[in-house]
Chains A and B, each alone.
Chain A
Amino acid sequence: MRRSYWEKNIFELIRRTSTSMPADVENAIRKTRRLEAAGSQAQWALDEMLAGIRAARESDTPLCPDTGALAFYFRVPVGFDTNALAAVVRAAVSRATRAGYLSQNTLDAISGARYPTNIGHELPAMYFDQGGRKNVDVRLVMKSAASENEGSQFSLPCRDLGVDSDLNGVRACALETVARAQRSGLGPGVLGICIGGDRSSGQAHARGQFLRKVGERSRVRLLSRLEDRILKDVRKLDIGPIGSGGKSALLGVNIDSLSRLPGSYFVTISYMGWAFRRRGAVMGPEGGVHRWLY
């Protein structure tokens, strides 16, 4: 492993993620803009978002002053030195914070003291998956605190929603989450949904759905139909991008499932506001970039 290559390119990954929205998200915003009436408040909000995306890219500055919590997803060859990789990530995050691509966003949970380099307890988050491959696939997702606050977990059947442990219940959970997120003004959002699993695996798997592109449909036909149905239903809620009305409260829904026990049926929903900062790269074991993802 050539540490300097790795550090330089992980830094570049952070810079790109902070300043340049992925094309799939930007295109989804353009597409949803067509749903809104000309001159409406919803269309104005979407135009501001598109102008914001352009401005961040052109000025090479963070899309949002809240650069959020960083989650790195690595897929590495068997036997790869992940401790060294974690050290490289921490060095690159410190450098990106000093350079102004990341805000000082990491606090001690009890005292509220700030970590000036954003290196804290379990932050940035890193997930490693070893497998039979030659290269390293790295993806970075930045998620704001406000987006994280709007996520939810349901245990079906749910008396409050009046639904059973089935896909109709999942649909109700998704609609309830979007309706609740109306207050936050974060829309149009994207939902990552995990059906099944336990409380912790469900959270991780729901967040992992953000690695899929917006508009990329589930390979499971039934879940793909459910994704479409939720998108259509949300338009009828008349929430709009900033909560004051319109059809574009959601850009996409990504659903997947994990095995579960007979006695539990968790539906875990992770919410991502429109500032969906996600980038990735395929890198050689020495740290050189083979190609950028998204």
Chain B
Amino acid sequence: MKTVEVTVDALRERKDQLRTGQRVRLSGNLLVSHGDSLRLLESALAEVEGDRTLVLYHGSALVKGREGARKVSSLGPASCHRYESLLVRILNLFPVSMVIGQGAMGDAMSEACAARGCVYLQAVGNTGALNAGRTVAAELFAENGDADPVWQLEVSGLEAVVSIDSCGRNQFRRAKTRATRQLKALLKERF
């Protein structure tokens, strides 16, 4: 399938055209947070005013340097399935247009995407240095205590694939059904 170029600024108009399995090259600003720091993101977003398009990257970034001269040395997604309920909660509270993460998401995320008009994209994990090269700028969005800080990054050409579209169609659900059927058949065979 052809890769489509999408900018965060045009995401609201474009997101409903994105279909599961489609590869996307994204440019624009996104917020990076994962695991327990999603709570920090939630409280920080509550203070953000205005009608901005939100893209959440569920992952982590290694950022070097001081304010004004920050450089990302590694950026990668983190497995989402353990944090599905937290991510769904954020989707229900804030106007998030896109979530980028790693791995599968379940029915709760599919339903939230359909209800909120959000898309979930899967990025390839552990490609930290590659994604760092696709990062233009970094600034601190929120920090508090021991939790990982939330970074706002400007990216150019970040690649990912649509896993759940804004109608709630979930690519993983189909793949999981296939794998479960195959597993049952294989367990009947013997070594």
Contact = CB atoms under 8 A, between A and B. Distances in A.
Interface in B132-191: 132-133, 146, 159, 161, 163, 171-172, 175-176, 178-180, 182-183, 186-187, 189-191
B130 interface: yes
Nearest to A41: B161
Interface in B15-33: 21, 23
Given A49-B126, A100-B64, A175-B186, A65 B191 contact: no
Interface in A162-192: 162-163, 167-168, 170-172, 175-176, 179, 182-186
Contact of B187 (A161, A170, A241): A161
A56 B182 contact: no
Chain B interface bracket (under 10, 10 to 19, 20 to 34, 35 or more): 35 or more
A55 B78 contact: no
A282 to B, nearest CB: 28
Interface string A50-78: 01101110110111111000000000000
Interface residue SS majority, chain B: mixed
Contacts of B130: 48, 51-52, 54-56
Contacts of A55: 127, 129-130, 132-133
B60 interface: yes
Contact of A66 (B60, B82, B146, B163): B60
Nearest to A276: B126
A248 to B, nearest CB: 13
B175 A239 contact: yes
B60 A103 contact: yes
A41 B175 contact: no
Nearest to B84: A183
Nearest to B104: A183
Contacts of B187: 161-163, 172, 175
Interface residues of A, number: 62
A44 interface: yes
A175 B61 contact: no
A52 B179 contact: no
Contact of B61 (A65, A149, A186): A65
A36 to B, nearest CB: 14
B127 A48 contact: yes
A41 B60 CA distance: 24
Contact of B183 (A39, A58, A175): A175
Nearest to A170: B191
Nearest to A45: B124
Contacts of A144: 126
Nearest to A144: B126
B191 A229 contact: yes
B62 A176 contact: no
Contacts of B117: none
B161 A64 contact: no
A167 B82 CA distance: 32
B129 A56 contact: yes
A46 B139 CA distance: 30
A105 to B, nearest CB: 10
Interface string B76-112: 1111011000000000000000000011100000000
Interface stretch (A9-17, A129-137, A230-238, A256-264): A230-238
A211 interface: no
Contacts of B102: 146, 184-186
A206 interface: no
Nearest to A58: B129
Given A65-B59, A66-B76, A236-B186, A185 B122 contact: yes
Given A55-B127, A62-B62, A184-B103, 17 more contacts: A51-B130, A52-B130, A54-B130, A59-B133, A61-B129, A65-B59, A107-B146, A149-B82, A172-B187, A175-B186, A183-B103, A183-B104, A184-B81, A185-B122, A186-B125, A236-B186, A238-B179
Q: Which 10 A-B pairs have the closest CB atoms?
A: A185-B103, A52-B127, A275-B126, A56-B129, A64-B126, A55-B129, A52-B130, A48-B124, A65-B74, A55-B130
7 contacts: A44-B159, A55-B129, A56-B129, A61-B62, A65-B59, A186-B103, A240-B175
